Chains A and B, each alone.
Chain A
């Protein structure tokens, strides 16, 4: 198995009461600057201790994740992460200019010497408010943007694009991606619709904020659809994102987490008003499987024990966590763990180091 370190770049300072968009009435530039510095340092450390990838992601208008354009921080990572691949999971392509995305990805692939992993997501529903895009168009925009980005990467002659959502008279990007025919593509895939699309287009699939049971169901669907399309996804084609904290012992890991929870009671909301959420659900955003719609609530059910049981937290000593990882692999078939530090600061640093030195060597053989 492979491991990625995800830096969500969460702003840790005090803010106005949680809502989305979060007003920036209480805000410190110094804290934001330190957040980026810490994320870059953690990524550098992950690279040093053997992580296979480092990951960044896109979210807007709030402290949960202050990388609205993850390409910018990925650019910085290309200069400090010397060996690991740099994964953007991802760019929210339905709400962006796809040609610009193709250009930025190509720059990152070039600057990193061909180490880019190009995640392309639909994003959380609130992101459709960000740039004023109708969430009903989410899937069809995603499909068009993906095809346009692939075309921009692979077609050397200038071409125009008469799309449904985007029109261009001439596209011919410079630089070109190093990886040929193009960098590996991943999308998120909890709904059956997404799994079918990924299988048909031979692209990788990522799971986040879900449960083992739901991810297992979605991953079986993806595999069976891929078989119909005439190919077999490799373990590397499935990413499973999960928060983690490694202690010297199970007790220490649990105490660290409890202490952090007691020190900070903040929670992040990406929820919109009831009316806006209803409009997004009616737009068909969540797909046809109703069980997947409740996956966020399901993932957080039952406190810490429940989250470990659901596969939504890796917590404990290295030995305990290796067993938790084995279970994720056997139930979901994931070959790449995208790990989110559950704590910040020095505790995160120690946990990243422990994962690299004590867990990574032990999970290499899983699924190999």
Chain B
């Protein structure tokens, strides 16, 4: 994938990060980037996606509660970026049913439950997490369609 994947640290402060992202992107000659945010970093990822709509290509949010900031919630109606929201089936902090609130805010978002993972998806099921994120980012518009070759060729 030639497009950079920006993984937001959980402690990110949106404004300076967005600024740095802009500088780095221009310097590196990239036209767009993907965003991956876990838990508390979700609101920052949403703000970056809203502020750089032409550059933010796709967004993955993992094990996060929907934002509570009413200004941000209101702005989400304008968010057009393809979004995947992930939850672990054993997550007690943000249980899978949290997805219903995300679907209310972003009706077009995809929700996937990572079976047998808790709040820290990437640690609990690293391969399953990486596979689903890469599947989505490789072609967000075609995500629902299985694009793997399942045939035994030889």
Query: Which residue in chain A gives the minimum CB-CB distance to B107?
Result: A157
Cβ of B132 under 8 Å from chain A? yes
Beyond A162-B132, A169-B143, whether A157 also contacts B112 by CB under 8 A is no
Check B112 against A160 for contact (C-beta < 8 Å): yes
Interface string of B98-120 (1 = CB under 8 A from A): 01100100000011111110000
Q: A221 to B80, alpha carbons, bound, how many Å?
A: 54
Check B99 against A162 for contact (C-beta < 8 Å): no
Check B131 against A160 for contact (C-beta < 8 Å): no
Query: Which residue in chain B gives the minimum CB-CB distance to A163?
Result: B115
Q: Which residues in window 129-159 of A have CB below 8 A to B?
A: 144, 147-148, 151, 155-159
Residues in A whose Cβ lies below 8 Å from that of B97? 155
Query: Which residue in chain B gives the minimum CB-CB distance to A148?
Result: B115
> Would you call the interface of chain B mostly helix, strand, loop, or mixed?
mixed
Check A161 against B113 for contact (C-beta < 8 Å): yes
Check A162 against B144 for contact (C-beta < 8 Å): no
Check B115 against A147 for contact (C-beta < 8 Å): yes
Cβ of B146 under 8 Å from chain A? yes
Residues in A whose Cβ lies below 8 Å from that of B129? 162
Residues in A whose Cβ lies below 8 Å from that of B96? 151, 155, 159
- Least CB distance, B123 to chain A, in whole angstroms: 15
Query: Which residue in chain A gives the minimum CB-CB distance to B133?
Result: A162
Residues in A whose Cβ lies below 8 Å from that of B99? 155, 157, 159
Check A162 against B114 for contact (C-beta < 8 Å): yes
- Least CB distance, B87 to chain A, in whole angstroms: 9
Most chain B CB within 10 A, of A144, A148, A157, is at: A157
> Would you call the interface of chain A mostly helix, strand, loop, or mixed?
mixed
Check B146 against A169 for contact (C-beta < 8 Å): yes
Size class of the contact patch on chain A: 10 to 19
Cβ of B89 under 8 Å from chain A? yes
- Least CB distance, A345 to chain B, in whole angstroms: 48
A164 in complex: contacting residue of B115, B132, B143, CB < 8 Å: B115
A161 in complex: contacting residue of B115, B143, B144, B146, CB < 8 Å: B115
Cβ of B21 under 8 Å from chain A? no
Check A164 against B116 for contact (C-beta < 8 Å): yes
Check A162 against B115 for contact (C-beta < 8 Å): yes
Cβ of A170 under 8 Å from chain B? yes
Size class of the contact patch on chain B: 20 to 34
Residues in B whose Cβ lies below 8 Å from that of A144? 115-116
Q: How many A-B residue pairs have CB under 8 A?
A: 54
Interface string of A149-192 (1 = CB under 8 A from B): 00100011111111110000110000000000000000000000
Q: A211 to B134, alpha carbons, bound, how many Å?
A: 52
Check A159 against B143 for contact (C-beta < 8 Å): no
Residues in A whose Cβ lies below 8 Å from that of B131? 162
Residues in A whose Cβ lies below 8 Å from that of B103? 157
Query: Which residue in chain B gives the minimum CB-CB distance to A144?
Result: B115
- Least CB distance, A166 to chain B, in whole angstroms: 8
Cβ of B128 under 8 Å from chain A? yes
Q: A22 to B86, alpha carbons, bound, how many Å?
A: 46
- Least CB distance, A223 to chain B, in whole angstroms: 26
Residues in A whose Cβ lies below 8 Å from that of B111? 157-160
Q: A148 to B96, alpha carbons, bound, how many Å?
A: 12
Beyond A151-B96, A169-B143, A169-B146, whether A159 also contacts B112 by CB under 8 A is yes
Q: Which residues in window 101-150 of A have CB below 8 A to B?
A: 144, 147-148
Residues in B whose Cβ lies below 8 Å from that of A157? 99-100, 103, 111
- Least CB distance, B69 to chain A, in whole angstroms: 23
Q: A169 to B113, alpha carbons, bound, how many Å?
A: 10
Q: Which residues in window 289-330 of A have CB below 8 A to B?
A: none
Q: A159 to B129, alpha carbons, bound, how many Å?
A: 15
Residues in B whose Cβ lies below 8 Å from that of A155? 96-97, 99
Beyond A169-B143, A169-B146, whether A161 also contacts B100 by CB under 8 A is no
Residues in B whose Cβ lies below 8 Å from that of A151? 89, 96, 113
Q: Which residues in window 137-153 of B have CB below 8 A to A?
A: 143-146
Residues in A whose Cβ lies below 8 Å from that of B114? 162
Which residues of A does B touch, CB under 8 Å? 144, 147-148, 151, 155-164, 169-170
The 9 residue pairs across chains A and B that have the minimum distance between CB atoms: A160-B112, A163-B115, A162-B114, A169-B144, A162-B132, A157-B103, A159-B111, A162-B128, A162-B112
